[in-house]
Structure 1
């Protein structure tokens, strides 16, 4: 029974933890502009993150080493340094967006401007990392993030024309949008689903919690059930935006437009669930991105690392996390729009994705590291099929960003 409860909790945490500010905003923007015409990208992204996380978790459990320890060892310090630089930059952008997302949700709840909430959110992140146990931190934020199921409930309460909604699933470019913009948001959705920090956190957390090969089955179930169900919530967000915002030509420029999609169906109660879910999801993602920043630096440079270690035992690891939080707040205080940072960060996530996906794919097929736990034929078929998709999305991201003015 204990094992069954552990699996159930892991699945629920994976669902709640799948959605962050990137998924929330990008799916809402896409739904308000393209309806469900880009749902296929969500499906593609969920499949990719399942493969990616499954391989990274298995590599960590079998080898006892996390992502950047292996990348440095397998590719050499120079190549790994390029990977580190790109991944760390994307992670910093994502962290800034998540802290901004927490502040925007608190602004929506309190009416107090986000400028006050930026340092409060960052301090709360540091405090939780310092004082709260790893499993409690992960499970509480993931479970509270399940409040975002309000989007699925709201969709049914809105009572849309289901046949008309289903017809939008066929990929097509609306007359009001350009083909370049369509593909820009396809890349953005793909990047939002496969943000590298999720895997840095997942694999490092596996090492922190002392995973072994005995934990592989539970990990596989959590990934293969939790992430797809989280993807369903992503589709629900896009569908609510397609029903409420698209017919009125309302663009998503803040969280208030996203909130409108659920308040129209469920009023203040739905808004309360929305606010709790957004704060939990963005705060949980801020915890993960902060830890991922420390993990990547410490693993590459060979520092002592681990959340279970006190600051005196892993000073550089903890100091690096404090610094990235300060930098993130400093960026937000300049007045830059957190929603814009979010939209750009998911695109850059797609750019950096090959730098960590391909090395993990190589190691997952290396008997020297994995022994008999190398990728099976089925996993390898799909993992290899995703490799060119990831590379193409990475190469196309910058040209599409420039051509479309970040989708404007």
Structure 2
């Protein structure tokens, strides 16, 4: 049973990182514009996030404390404060984008303008965060997000040239749109797969579920189940966009266009299933980002935190939750386009990635907290190589965004 619970936590974490509004946009844009040329980015992201999520889960299971809780203690208040400010900014922007995704999914299902749904989405997210138990929350929204498997089914149903898809994976190119745009989309897609809040949520969720050193096998199974599932769903988004949108020269600018491949394959039924999947993954990611913002603040300041704690006993934690959701709603009520907001959010996310992943690697090698459960040689090598990739993406994000006009 604990292995099953760990798996659902991994699925919810992966939904928030691989198939939230960021990846719905980034993956579909990549497929529509460049075919399968960015499949390698997903593979890289899956391997890297599995390595760091395993570290974060192990830290929580062995020490009984979440990663951000240890960052301040291990690296000092000033470094941790910089980490907190950067991660909170990105997390709130991501929360706003996810709430926009929920509103767009509801507009897709009802035809009612998305701005009408924004405050409704914000209220619903806050109510779930306030009242629903953590395990029920992760099961409902993590598993409901698997409705996006309809994109994989559509890929089999459509007249797909599998040999051509394979050639696109093995021989990536710029598709005549320029290497600057190609690399900008690669950085954006990479940032969407390794979102800064993702490992913090996974680690804090492990504490919420009271993992111990005896649960390390369950923790690893959660990582190895959930994150590859998220990567598979994102790959299906790229592949279906390659088959349907790329030949037509369509550039994805709305959630309606993301759903086009399943509509072509299955008509109204496909649209309904896709809308359910869009709602589940964006709502689940909104829950994840809202919690991550409150987790980080509470752990930095040493407040009582967690959904297992009664709201009156963790009042400051729940206040940060509420304020974060309100800020997300206010950002959207400026009428900023959620898809455009998502593109900017991915750039900012890429910039702050090193501030998230370097502390995890440091703590995962500290015997003070982990004893003989510290990283082994091969995991450290993988973590270091992946960290170099993260730094490269962070350095390249802003120049690529400026020179290519956000990849356009």
TM-score interval, normalised by the smaller of the two chains = over 0.9
Task: Report whether the alignment pairs 1:265 with 2:265.
Answer: yes
Q: Structure 1 207/11 Cα, relative in aligned 2: closer, same or farther at 3 Å?
A: closer
Q: Structure 1 172/4 Cα, relative in aligned 2: closer, same or farther at 3 Å?
A: closer
Deviation at 1:171, TM superposition (A): 4.5
Note if contact 1:14-1:222 (Cα within 8 Å) is conserved in structure 2: no
Query: Over residues 255-291 of structure 1, what are the superposed CA-to-partner deviations in whole Å (9 max), with x where a residue is unaligned?
Result: 1101111110111111111011110110000001001
Note if contact 2:7-2:225 (Cα within 8 Å) is conserved in structure 1: no
Note if contact 1:191-1:348 (Cα within 8 Å) is conserved in structure 2: no
Indicate the residue corresponding to 2:51 in structure 1.
51
Deviation at 1:164, TM superposition (A): 1.3
Q: Secondary structure at the match of 2:344?
A: helix
Deviation at 1:16, TM superposition (A): 4.9
1:154-165 matches, within 5 Å, as 154-165=154-165
Note if contact 2:35-2:242 (Cα within 8 Å) is conserved in structure 1: yes
Deviation at 1:86, TM superposition (A): 0.8
Note if contact 2:9-2:202 (Cα within 8 Å) is conserved in structure 1: no
- Stretches of structure 1 lacking an aligned partner (at least 5 in a row): none
Task: Report whether the alignment pairs 1:181 with 2:181.
Answer: yes
Indicate the residue corresponding to 1:365 in structure 2.
365
Deviation at 1:221, TM superposition (A): 1.1
TM-score by length of 2: 0.96
Distance 1:159 1:175 in 2: 22
Distance 2:71 2:400 in 1: 29
Task: Report whether the alignment pairs 1:130 with 2:130.
Answer: yes
Aligned residues: 407
Indicate the residue corresponding to 1:329 in structure 2.
329
Q: Structure 1 12/96 Cα, relative in aligned 2: closer, same or farther at 3 Å?
A: closer
Query: Over residues 15-66 of structure 1, what are the superposed CA-to-partner deviations in whole Å (9 max), with x where a residue is unaligned?
Result: 6554211111110010000000010001001111101111011111111111
TM-score by length of 1: 0.96
Indicate the residue corresponding to 1:245 in structure 2.
245
Q: Structure 1 119/304 Cα, relative in aligned 2: closer, same or farther at 3 Å?
A: same
Indicate the residue corresponding to 1:354 in structure 2.
354
Indicate the residue corresponding to 1:215 in structure 2.
215
Note if contact 1:38-1:171 (Cα within 8 Å) is conserved in structure 2: no
Indicate the residue corresponding to 1:399 in structure 2.
399
Indicate the residue corresponding to 1:81 in structure 2.
81
1:6-25 matches, within 5 Å, as 6=5, 9=8, 13=12, 16=15, 18-25=18-25
Q: Structure 1 270/379 Cα, relative in aligned 2: closer, same or farther at 3 Å?
A: same
